[in-house]
Amino acid sequence: MQITPELLSQPIVAQWGVWLPAPAKINLFLHVVGRRPDGYHLLQTVFRFLDCGDRLRFGPRQDGLVQRVNDVPGVPAEQDLCVRAARLLAEAAEVRGLAVGGATIEVDKRLPMGGGLGGGSSDAATVLLALNQLWQTGFSNDELQALGLQLGADVPVFVGGRSAFAEGVGEALQSLSLPPAWYAVVVPPVSVPTPVIFSAEELTRNSPRVKISDFAGLVAAHEFGRNDLQAVAVSRYPEVAEALAVLAQVANSESGLLAPPRMSGSGACVFAACGSASVAQNVLSSALAKLPSGSSGFVAQGMDVHPLVASS
């Protein structure tokens, strides 16, 4: 997998035919604090965006149809969150009496699937944000977040467009400014299905609730809390355990790390937060040299604002 970090400091206005970013996220911590009657888990987490991710571009159609124009291995078009997001927006527009022309969607998939980096959710959010502009459907950001929640628990934070402290299933958001950091992200050669981790019997589901004030403004923000999903992923996926162990070993011999390595989301990716891009690059190179072939990784800078939302 080739991931090219893109520095996306300028707000972006959606245009037909222009590649638009769908950034990755990591979870700086993730606590499971309960479970809803429908089985979904109540979380407390901090989402941070990265300055790398997938890219999407859109073409106009006049026949009202939504069509993905490229193959994405392992994701049939009809199940793709991108296609479902576009159709959901078109249906919501129709309810309001707005006619939309349709769209073609091309997805340049760079983020791993089952990686815990929010790739599919971010793609869906970019579809909602971009087509709301391109179709001139005029939904507010809150309305788009509500549509996004129907597609997945991680979609609203990408639509909201700010790094955030999240509660509920991930949809109750309070935006945050986070300290600068560069992340060495290791992608183990395995895909972790989120439901497998959340349905594990041994998962800790009763972490004590924290307050945003416990976290916000902390200099040692990256050391706060833990990822409750990590122990389950480590025990079931040796590739995740090995990536974490190697990253921890490398981290011990490097100065400039902000916290011990951690897993993002439900895995498989693990990351080390570093004080500079060069430290992160050293950590990544040393870790990949010790890991079996098939492992990959990248360095990305933390970003607090989604470039598509900065423009709206």
Measured from the CB atom, is 120 or 307 closer to ligand C5P?
120
What is the CA 306 to chain-centroid distance, rounded? 11
What is the CA 223 to chain-centroid distance, rounded? 20
Q: How far is the CB of 40 from ligand C5P (least distance, A)?
A: 4
- Cα separation of 306 and 110, whole Å? 17
Based on the residue annotation, tell me whether 25 is a catalytic residue of this protein: yes
Q: Which residues bind ligand C5P (CB under 6 A)?
A: 40-41, 43, 152-154, 169-170, 194-195, 198
Measured from the CB atom, is 170 or 188 closer to ligand C5P?
170
Q: How far is CA 235 from CA 128, 230, 232, 238, in A?
A: 36, 9, 5, 7
Selected catalytic residue, list 54, 123, 154, 228: 154
- Cα separation of 312 and 302, whole Å? 21
Selected catalytic residue, list 25, 54, 109, 228: 25
Measured from the CB atom, is 63 or 202 closer to ligand C5P?
202
- Cα separation of 43 and 257, whole Å? 26
Based on the residue annotation, tell me whether 154 is a catalytic residue of this protein: yes
Q: How far is the CB of 201 from ligand C5P (least distance, A)?
A: 14
Q: How far is the CB of 168 from ligand C5P (least distance, A)?
A: 8
Measured from the CB atom, is 119 or 297 closer to ligand C5P?
119
82 and 46 in contact (C-beta within 8 Å)?
no
Measured from the CB atom, is 170 or 307 closer to ligand C5P?
170
Q: How far is the CB of 43 from ligand C5P (least distance, A)?
A: 5
Q: Which residues of 83-110 are buried (b: 16+ CB within 10 A; e: fewer)?
A: bbbbebbbebbeeeeeebebbbbebebb
Single-letter amino acid code for the residue at 28? L
Q: How far is the CB of 266 from ligand C5P (least distance, A)?
A: 7
Q: Please give the positions annotated as active site.
A: 25, 154
